[in-house]
């Protein structure tokens, strides 16, 4: 059994990272495994910045968004030289395995370390929900609820002024946030990277609704599909409707994790440490059909999940 593990958070922060750090640390310590927290993701491995964690160092964080270990995007880490340097640092700290909490990019980084002989396990943490090997990533539920609260407020003013409220949300490569927030808020339409965007079709739909006495509408645009301001310009140019624009931005990344994110973070943490103890390494932890699983990195290529097309169609059907 290993005697010391390392943990870091990487990529965009996500609510749920803190409860995951807490879960890994306390569960591992309980099994007699020491825990070193690496600061600022892969950047911290290269800058050799870490702290030894005990039960108390992870107190008062379960309800906080962000990550107490800080996070970073580290371009230099894609080079093998840098990865070798990181492995040397981990070994110098007597760390026998590393738990990475992050998104798809961070998982690729973890995979590189595994190839160089440092066992790793990835816990999915990204608001985008765009990771292979899991139907659910930490932070997604909190982000969707944050967007929902904002859209509900925007709806009040859109209704009062009889406007089309265009709301731009995060998601460079995936439309999960847009679709789920759109479904929950009763949006008229969502524009997502997974589907071709036809602004002409959108305007026809809005125009038709308006003629049927629906005097205000919500359109949610994932940043990866198109910019919200382009959608607003098009509507202004091609219809008599009055569009407004809200770009939600980083508000979506912060805030206390929802119960789902905090609970799942604890369960992902337990699964990760149990896997390490059993020698199951170089895997990503995930939730598949409501079961906790660990999938080898090498098998994740065929395990990419996309947005639910039924939900996409239903949203447009119900939003009329
Ligand atoms: N192909 C790769 N090889 C090695 N490291 C990578 C690779 N892709 C991403 N990373 C590392 O993971 C970090 C986080 O990735 P990024 O895609 O920005 O966020 P996320 O993990 O949240 O999706 C990057 O800044 C980089 O250090
Ligand atoms: O913080 P940055 O570098 O501006 O990145 C913004 C991006 O990060 C995210 O919030 C989260 O993405 P990752 O979890 O993949 O890092 C995206 O939705 C958004 O496009
Ligand atoms: Mg990502």
Q: Where are the domains of the chain?
A: 4-139+257-302, 141-253
Ligand 1 atom nearest to 73, measured from its CA: 25
Residues 316 and 64: their CA atoms lie apart, in Å, by 35
Architecture of the CATH domain 4-139+257-302: 3-Layer(aba) Sandwich (3.40)
Among 70, 109, 123, 172, residue to substitute to test ligand 2 (most atoms within 8 Å of Cβ): 172
| Sole residue written with tokens 């609260």 | 149
Closest residue to atom 8 of ligand 1, CA basis? 105
C-alpha 182 – ligand 3 centre gap (Å): 21
C-alpha 127 – ligand 3 centre gap (Å): 8
In tens, the pLDDT along 87-116 reads 999 999 999 999 999 999 999 999 999 999
pLDDT for 195 equals: 96
Q: Does the structure's ipTM exceed the value 0.85?
A: yes
Q: Check if CATH label 3.20.20.80 holds for domain 141-253.
A: no
How many other C-beta atoms can be found within 10 angstroms of the C-beta atom of residue 165?
A: 24
Q: Which ligand is nearest to the CA of 102?
A: 1
pLDDT for 285 equals: 98
pLDDT for 314 equals: 98
Catalytic residues: 128
How many other C-beta atoms can be found within 10 angstroms of the C-beta atom of residue 159?
A: 14
Ligand 1 pocket residue status of 266, Cβ below 6 Å: no
In tens, the pLDDT along 234-285 reads 999 999 999 999 999 999 999 999 999 999 999 999 999 999 999 999 999 9
Q: Which CA distances in Å does 135 have to 97, 131, 176, 304, 312?
A: 25, 8, 11, 9, 17
List strand residue ranges (DSSP E) for 48-143, in order: 50-53, 97-102, 120-124
Which residues are known binding-site members for ATP?
12, 73-74, 103-106
Which residues are known binding-site members for substrate?
126-128, 163, 170-172, 223, 250-253
| Sole residue written with tokens 């309800």 | 63
Same fold across 4-139+257-302 and 141-253: yes
Angle at 312 between CA 213 and CA 139, to 5 degrees: 115
Low-confidence residues in the chain, pLDDT < 50: none
Token representation of residue 222: 């994932």
Distance from the Cα of residue 116 to its chain's centroid: 27
Whole-structure pTM value: 0.97
Q: Which CA distances in Å does 307 have to 174, 176, 194?
A: 8, 6, 8
pLDDT for 213 equals: 85
Ligand 1 pocket residue status of 175, Cβ below 6 Å: no
C-alpha 186 – ligand 3 centre gap (Å): 27
pLDDT for 317 equals: 95
């Amino acid at each position: 059994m290993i005697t010391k593990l390392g943990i870091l958070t990487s990529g965009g922060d996500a609510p749920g990272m803190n409860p995951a750090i807490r879960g890994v640390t306390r569960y591992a310590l309980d099994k007699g495994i020491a825990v070193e927290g690496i600061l600022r993701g892969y950047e911290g491995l290269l800058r050799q910045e870490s702290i030894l964690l005990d039960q108390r160092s992870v107190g008062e964080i379960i309800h906080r968004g962000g990550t107490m270990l800080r996070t970073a995007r580290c371009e230099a880490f894609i080079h093998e030289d840098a990865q070798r340097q990181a492995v040397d640092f981990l070994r110098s700290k007597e760390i026998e395995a590393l738990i990475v909490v992050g998104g798809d990019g961070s998982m690729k980084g973890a995979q590189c370390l595994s190839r160089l002989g440092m066992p790793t396990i990835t816990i999915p943490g990204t608001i985008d929900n765009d990771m292979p090997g899991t139907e659910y990533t930490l932070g997604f539920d909190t982000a969707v609820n944050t967007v929902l609260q904002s859209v509900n407020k925007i709806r009040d003013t859109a209704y009062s002024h009889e406007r089309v409220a265009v709301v731009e949300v995060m998601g460079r490569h995936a439309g999960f946030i847009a679709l789920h927030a759109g479904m929950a808020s009763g949006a008229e339409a969502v524009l997502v990277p997974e589907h071709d965007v036809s602004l002409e079709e959108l305007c026809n739909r809005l125009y038709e609704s308006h003629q049927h006495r629906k005097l205000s509408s919500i359109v949610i645009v994932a940043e990866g599909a198109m910019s919200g301001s382009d959608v607003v310009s098009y509507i202004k140019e091609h219809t008599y409707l009055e569009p407004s624009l809200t770009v939600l931005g980083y508000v979506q990344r912060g805030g206390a994790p929802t119960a789902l994110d905090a609970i799942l973070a604890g369960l992902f943490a337990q699964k990760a440490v149990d896997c390490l103890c059993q020698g199951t390494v170089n895997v990503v932890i995930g939730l598949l059909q409501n079961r906790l699983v660990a999938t080898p990195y090498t098998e994740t290529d065929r395990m990419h999940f996309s947005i639910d097309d039924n939900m996409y169609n239903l949203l447009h059907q119900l939003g009329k």
